[in-house]
Chain A
Amino acid sequence: MSFDSIGEFMTMGGHGFYVWLAYGATLLVLAANVLSLSFARRRYLRDAQALAKRQGGTEPAACDPIADPENSRGLG
C-alpha cells in the first residue's frame, strides 16, 4: 500500500480532485459503452419480435419449420 490512511488515499497528496475526476470519467464512459449496447440489443429484439408477431399471419414461412420446429411456433 502506497498510502498510510484512507484519508491520504482520498486526497492523493493534494491531487485528489484530478485523479478522481479522471477515474470517474473513465468509469462513466466504460459503463456507458457496456450499458448502451445491452439496451440497444434489448430494444432491437423487442421491436423485431413485435414486428414478427404483426406479420405472423401474412408470412407463415418466416422461418423453416422443418429445420427448427421449436422456434417456428413462436412466430404464430
Chain B
Amino acid sequence: MKLKEWWHKMGSPRWFYQISGPWQVGCGILAAVLLTVGTIWGLAFAPEDYQQGNSFRIIYVHVPSAMLAQSAYMLMGAAGFVLLVWRMKLADMVLASVVPFGMSMTALALFTGAVWGKPTWGAWWVWDARTTSMLVLLFLYFGIYALRQAIPREEAAGRACAVLALVGTINIPIIKYSVDWWLTLHQPATFKVTEAPAMPPEMWLPLLLNVLGLYCLFGANLIGRLKLTILEREKNTSWVKQIVAGAAA
C-alpha cells in the first residue's frame, strides 16, 4: 500500500518538479568540486605510466565518459521498461531527457579513445570488439533521437523509443565483456567489483573522483532537462502556467 502510493507519486511530473530543485543544485556543486580536484590531480600530480608515458592521462576523461555513456543507456532501458509496463509518463520524459547527455558522452568516449589510440596503438581507429560495440551504442542513441523526431504523436513516439531503448540494452554487456570475450587491443577494465585496481592509488583515485563527478554532473543535467521537458509537455496545466508567469526569463 505504502509502496504503491510512493510509486504513484514518483510518476507525477508535478511532484518531481517541486522536490527536485535542491537535488539539482547539490549534484551540480558536488560535480564541480569532484571534477576540478580529479582533473587537476590526474593532469598534474598523478605519476606517469611507465609504458605509455603521459598519454595515459587521457584515462581521466576517457573512462568516465565511457562509463557514463553505458549507464545513461541502461537508465533509458529501465525508463523504457517502466513506460511499457506501467504507462508512467514521467518515464518517457526521463527517456527523452537522457538522450543529449548520453549521446554526447558516447561520442566523447569514442573521440578521446581515438586520441589515446594514436600514440598508444599507432592508429586512430581499429575495428576491434570494444570500439565497434561502442560505435553501435552511438548509433543506438542516434536511432532513439531520430525516432522521436520522426513520429509526431507523442505517445506513439514514446513507446517506439522505449522498445528501441530496451532492445538496445543487449549491447551493454557486449561492450562490457568485449575485452574478455575477444582478442582486442583495448586494455581490460580499470575498476572491477571483485578485484582491487591494477594501478596504484595515486593513479586510480583521481579517476574515481572524475567518474563520480561526471555522474553528479549527469544527475544535475538530467534533472534540469527533465524539468524543462515537464514544463513543455504539461504547458496547459495551471501549475505550469503559474511557474512560467512567476519565472524570470
Contacts and interface: CB of A to CB of B under 8 A. Distances in A.
Interface residues of B, number: 44
Interface stretch (B15-23, B148-156, B236-244): B236-244
A74 B100 contact: no
B242 A71 contact: yes
Contacts of A32: 104
Interface residues of A, number: 42
Interface string A29-59: 1101110111011101110110010000000
A63 B217 contact: no
B206 to A, nearest CB: 11
Contacts of B101: 33
A19 B42 CA distance: 11
B235 A23 contact: no
Contacts of A19: 43, 54-55, 57-58
Interface of B: 39, 43-48, 53-55, 57-58, 61-62, 65, 100-101, 104-105, 107-108, 111-112, 115-116, 118-119, 217, 221, 224-225, 228, 231-232, 235, 238-239, 241-242, 244-247, 249
Interface of A: 1-3, 9, 12-16, 18-19, 21-23, 25-26, 29-30, 32-34, 36-38, 40-42, 44-46, 48-49, 52, 62-64, 68, 70-72, 74-75
